[in-house]
C-alpha cells in the first residue's frame, strides 16, 4: 500500500486477514483501545463486540470450527485475558487455532516501578503471559516494534502448524508504533512427512492389514486437526473396511458412506458397532483421543496389541514408532496398497439392530426428548450444522443420522458447560451459508446466555432449542444432589429483552409436540434468530446417558490406591 505507514496493530490485523480471518471477537478495555483502533483500519476484518471475554473466547472456538482456519479474539490485560482463559484452554484441548491477543501495560511501567490497575498489585507484569503459556502452543509479549513482525509471524505459523491456540500480548504504547510492511510469505499448515519414515510405516501397516481377516477403522477427533478427513474417506472407499467414529468425531466421516457402521462408544454407542470393532483382528485407529468420556469410563475393549495407532504426526505399528509422518500422508499412502476387505462390514450388517425411527406427530402429551430430536432429525440437510452442549444433548445428538456434509460439533474433551452459546455465535459468523441448530440445556445456558444478544446484534440466525428440565441433567446422572437444581427462568422471553430496539429475534415456549411442530414451522420461515424453549420433565433423558453416567461415576469414585 503506497504511502501507508504500517503499525504493529495493523500488521497483525493484516496478517490475520491474509490468512482468511474475516471477524475478530472482542471486549474493549483501556490496555487494548489503541490496538483496536489499528485493527479497525483493516477493512477486511469485522469487529464483533461480545458481552464478556469468556464468551468471546467461546465464539472464537466456534469460528475456528466452522472455517477450519484461524480465529482471533482481542482482550484487555489481565482482567480480560484471565476471563478468556477458560475458553482458550478449551480450544487447546480441542485442537483449535485460536489467536488470543491482549493489550498490555506501557513498556515504561516496569522500569519506572509503577503499580497498575487490573493487576495483582505487584510490580510483576509477566504473569498473564506465563499463565497463558500453559494453555497455548506459543505465548509472546511484544515490547519493541523492531522484533514485532517476526514475533507475530512466528506465533501465527505455530497456530497453523500445531492447530493450537497462541497468545500475543502487545504493550499499549507499542500497538501504534511503526513497523515493517507485512511482506509476502507462505505460512505452512502442516510440517512435511519424512519420506523414508512414511514409506516404512505404510509398508509395515499394509503387511499387517492385508493379512487380517476382519480389519476395521475407528476414527477420532484428531483427524480434523490433521486435515485428514478427505484422506480417511478415500481410504474407506478403497478398502471397504467397516469404519466407525468416536463420539467426538461425529460428522468427520461421511455417515452416508457405505462403510460407516456408527459411533464406537462402548456400551452406549451404535448398537452392534462395539461387537464388530472389539472382535476385529486388526484395528486401524486414526486420530483417537481415548478419555474417560469417550471410552465411557474406560470400558471400551479395543485390543491395542492388534491395533495400528495413527496420530497427527506419528504412526505406531506393532510397537514400532515411525515419527515425522503426517496422518493425511500416511492414509493416502496406505490406501494405495491395501486389499479390499468387507468382512467386518458384512458382519455388522448381519448383527446390526437399528433403532426404529421415532415418528413425527402432533401429540398434546407432555413433550419428550425423543420427540424433540425426531423433529430435529427432520430439519437436517447437507447445509446444517448442529452445536450440541455438554449434557443430554450429546447423547440425543449422537443418535441423529447426518446427511452428507452436515456438521456436528461438541466439546467433549474439555466439556465446559455454557460453551455452546458463544460457539454458536462464532459458527454462524464463520459460515453464514449453514443453518446452525443449537441444542442447549437450561443449566448450561444460564452461564453464557447474554451472548444471544450478540447473535442478534450481528444478525446471526440459528435455531436454538433450549431444553428446560430444571437442572444439570448430566451431573444428575453422574452424582445427584441439591446443587444440580437451578432457578427456572422464562427463557423464551429473554429474546424480547435481547432484541433491544431493532433486532429480529423470535422466541416461544412449547410443552407438547403439537406446539413444537408449529414453532419449528415458524422458525424455518423466520428471517432471524429463533429460540424455542422446550419444557421437558427433569427425569426425561437418554437411556445412554444413564448408563454412561454410571460408568463415569464408577471411574471417578475409585478409592485411592493407598487406602
Average predicted confidence (pLDDT) for the chain: 93
- Within this chain, do residues 335 and 243 fall inside the same structural domain, yes or no? yes
Confidence of residue 66 (pLDDT cuts 50, 70, 90): very high
Q: Give the per-residue pLDDT at 200.
A: 98
Q: Determine, yes or no, domain membership for 189.
A: no
C-alpha closest to that of 333 among 223, 214, 238: 238
pLDDT of residue 133: 98
Percent of the chain that is helix, strand, coil (3-state, to 5):
40, 20, 40
Query: Mapping DSSP to helix (H, G, I), strand (E, B) and coil, where does residue 555 land?
Result: helix
Distance CA(443)–CA(461), nearest Å, equals: 22
Task: Identify the residue whose cell numbers are 448381519.
Answer: 350
Judge if 53 and 155 occupy the same domain: yes
Do 222 and 120 share a structural domain? Answer: no
What per-residue confidence (pLDDT) applies to 388?
A: 97
- 417-432: average pLDDT: 97
User: 303 and 398 share a domain?
Assistant: no
Q: 182 near 206, Cβ under 8 Å?
A: no
Give the structural domain span for 19.
8-171
Q: How confident is the model at residue 35 (pLDDT cuts 50, 70, 90)?
A: very high
403: in domain? yes
pLDDT of residue 560: 86
Reported as a single tens digit per residue, the pLDDT across 228-249 is 999 999 999 999 999 999 999 9
Distance separating alpha carbons of residues 533 and 367, to the nearest angstrom: 11
pTM, to two decimals:
0.94
Vertex 228, ends 393 and 90: CA angle to 5°? 45
Q: What is the CATH number of the domain that holds 28?
A: 3.40.50.970
Spatial distance between the Cα atoms of 298 and 292, rounded to a whole number of angstroms: 5
pLDDT, tens only, 309-338 = 999 999 999 999 999 999 999 999 999 999
Q: Does any domain span residue 311?
A: yes
Instruction: Choose from 193-197, 303-307, 553-557 the range with maximum mean pLDDT.
Output: 193-197
Instruction: Pick 475 or 282 by higher pLDDT.
Output: 282
Query: Looking at the predicted structure, is the pLDDT value of residue 55 above 70?
Result: yes
Residues 539 and 505 reside in one and the same domain: yes
Residue 214 exposure: Cα atoms within 13 Å on the Cβ side: 13
pLDDT value at residue 475: 61
Co-location of 56 and 142 in the same domain: yes
CB atoms within 10 A of CB 164: 22
Same domain, 401 and 488: yes
Pairing of strands 71-75, 23-26: parallel
* Overall domain count for the chain: 3
The terminus-to-terminus CA distance of the chain in angstroms comes to 70
CATH number, position 252 = 3.40.50.1220
315, 309 Cβ separation under 8 angstroms = yes
Does the pLDDT at position 1 exceed 60?
Answer: no
> Are residues 242 and 126 located together in one domain of the fold?
no
When comparing pLDDT for 117 and 217, which is higher? Answer: 217
User: Which grid coordinates belong to 401?
Assistant: 443420522
User: 532: exposed, middle or buried (C-beta count within 10 Å: 0-12, 13-18, 19+)?
Assistant: buried
Q: Which of 320, 99, 124 is nearest to 205 (CA)?
A: 320
* Closest to 426 in 3D by CA, of 73, 66, 90: 66
Say whether both 274 and 312 belong to one domain: yes
Mean pLDDT confidence for 402-421 = 96
In a domain, 210, yes or no: yes
pLDDT at 364: 87
pLDDT above 70 as % of the chain: 94
* 172 — pLDDT class (breaks 50, 70, 90): very high
Average pLDDT on 250-265 reads: 97
Q: Is residue 542 part of a domain?
A: yes
84-128: pLDDT as tens digits:
999 999 999 999 999 999 999 999 887 777 888 888 888 888 999
The answer to whether 387 and 420 have CB atoms below 8 angstroms apart is: yes
Query: Are 236 and 319 within one domain?
Result: yes
Q: Is the predicted pLDDT of residue 2 greater than 70, yes or no?
A: no
Region 272-285: mean pLDDT is 94
Query: Is residue 54 scored above 60 in pLDDT?
Result: yes
Taking only the tens place, the pLDDT of each residue in 369-379 is 999 999 999 99
If asked whether residues 109 and 152 sit together in one domain, one would say yes
| List of long-range contacts for 520-527, beta carbons under 8 Å, 24+ apart | 520/375, 520/379, 520/463, 523/463, 524/379, 524/463, 527/461
Kindly report, residue by residue over 131-161, the tens digit of the pLDDT. Answer: 999 999 999 999 999 999 999 999 999 999 9
Q: How far apart are CA 328 and CA 221, in angstroms?
A: 14
Amino acid at each position: 500500500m503506497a504511502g501507508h505507514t504500517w503499525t504493529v496493530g495493523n500488521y497483525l490485523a493484516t496478517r490475520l486477514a491474509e490468512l482468511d480471518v474475516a471477524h475478530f471477537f472482542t471486549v474493549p478495555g483501556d490496555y487494548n483501545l489503541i490496538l483496536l483502533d489499528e485493527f479497525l483500519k483493516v477493512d477486511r476484518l469485522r469487529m464483533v463486540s461480545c458481552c464478556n471475554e469468556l464468551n468471546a473466547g467461546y465464539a472464537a472456538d466456534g469460528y475456528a470450527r466452522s472455517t477450519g482456519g484461524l480465529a482471533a479474539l482481542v482482550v484487555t490485560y489481565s482482567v480480560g485475558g484471565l476471563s478468556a482463559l477458560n475458553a482458550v484452554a478449551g480450544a487447546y484441548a480441542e485442537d483449535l487455532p485460536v489467536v488470543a491477543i491482549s493489550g498490555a501495560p506501557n513498556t515504561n511501567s516496569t522500569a519506572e516501578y509503577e503499580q497498575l490497575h487490573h493487576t495483582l498489585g505487584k510490580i510483576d507484569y509477566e504473569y498473564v503471559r506465563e499463565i497463558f503459556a500453559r494453555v497455548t502452543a506459543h505465548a509472546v509479549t511484544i515490547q519493541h516494534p523492531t522484533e514485532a513482525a517476526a514475533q507475530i509471524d512466528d506465533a501465527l505459523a505455530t497456530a497453523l502448524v500445531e492447530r493450537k491456540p497462541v497468545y500475543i500480548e502487545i504493550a499499549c504504547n507499542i500497538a501504534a508504533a511503526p513497523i515493517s510492511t507485512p511482506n509476502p510469505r507462505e505460512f505452512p499448515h502442516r510440517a512435511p512427512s519424512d519420506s523414508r519414515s512414511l514409506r516404512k510405516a505404510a509398508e509395515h501397516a499394509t503387511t499387517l492389514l492385508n493379512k487380517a481377516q476382519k480389519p476395521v477403522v475407528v476414527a477420532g477427533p484428531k483427524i480434523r486437526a490433521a486435515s485428514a478427513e478427505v484422506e480417511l474417506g478415500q481410504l474407506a472407499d478403497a478398502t471397504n473396511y467397516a469404519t466407525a467414529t468416536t463420539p467426538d468425531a461425529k460428522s468427520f466421516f461421511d455417515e452416508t458412506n457405505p462403510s460407516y457402521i456408527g459411533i464406537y462408544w462402548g456400551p452406549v454407542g451404535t448398537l452392534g458397532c462395539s461387537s464388530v470393532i472389539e472382535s476385529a483382528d486388526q484395528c486401524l485407529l486414526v486420530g483417537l483421543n481415548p478419555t474417560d468420556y469417550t471410552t465411557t469410563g474406560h470400558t471400551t475393549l479395543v485390543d491395542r496389541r492388534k491395533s495400528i495407532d495413527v496420530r497427527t504426526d506419528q504412526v505406531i505399528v506393532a510397537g514400532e514408532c515411525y515419527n515425522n509422518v503426517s496422518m493425511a500422508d500416511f492414509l493416502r499412502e496406505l490406501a494405495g496398497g491395501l486389499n479390499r476387505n468387507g468382512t467386518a462390514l458384512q458382519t455388522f450388517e448381519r448383527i446390526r439392530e437399528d433403532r426404529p425411527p421415532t415418528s413425527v406427530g402432533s401429540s398434546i402429551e407432555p413433550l419428550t426428548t425423543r420427540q424433540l430430536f425426531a423433529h430435529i432429525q427432520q430439519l437436517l440437510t447437507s447445509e446444517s450444522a448442529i452445536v450440541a452442549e455438554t449434557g443430554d444433548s450429546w447423547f440425543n445428538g449422537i443418535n441423529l443420522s447426518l446427511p452428507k456434509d452436515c456438521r456436528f460439533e461438541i466439546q467433549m474433551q474439555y466439556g465446559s458447560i455454557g460453551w455452546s452459546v458463544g460457539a454458536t455465535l462464532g459458527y454462524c459468523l464463520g459460515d453464514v451459508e449453514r443453518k446452525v441448530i443449537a441444542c442447549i440445556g437450561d443449566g448450561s445456558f444460564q452461564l453464557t446466555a447474554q451472548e444471544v444478544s450478540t447473535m442478534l446484534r450481528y444478525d446471526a440466525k440459528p435455531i436454538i432449542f433450549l431444553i428446560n428440565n430444571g437442572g444439570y441433567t448430566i451431573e444428575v446422572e453422574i452424582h445427584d444432589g441439591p446443587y444440580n437444581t437451578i432457578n427456572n427462568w422464562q427463557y423464551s422471553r429473554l429474546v424480547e429483552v435481547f432484541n433491544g430496539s431493532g433486532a429480529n429475534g423470535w422466541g416461544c415456549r412449547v410443552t407438547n409436540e403439537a406446539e413444537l411442530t408449529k414453532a419449528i414451522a415458524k422458525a424455518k420461515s423466520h428471517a432471524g434468530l429463533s429460540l424455542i424453549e422446550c419444557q421437558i420433565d427433569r427425569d426425561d433423558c437418554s437411556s445412554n446417558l444413564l448408563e454412561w453416567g454410571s460408568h463415569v461415576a464408577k471411574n471417578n469414585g475409585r478409592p485411592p490406591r493407598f487406602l
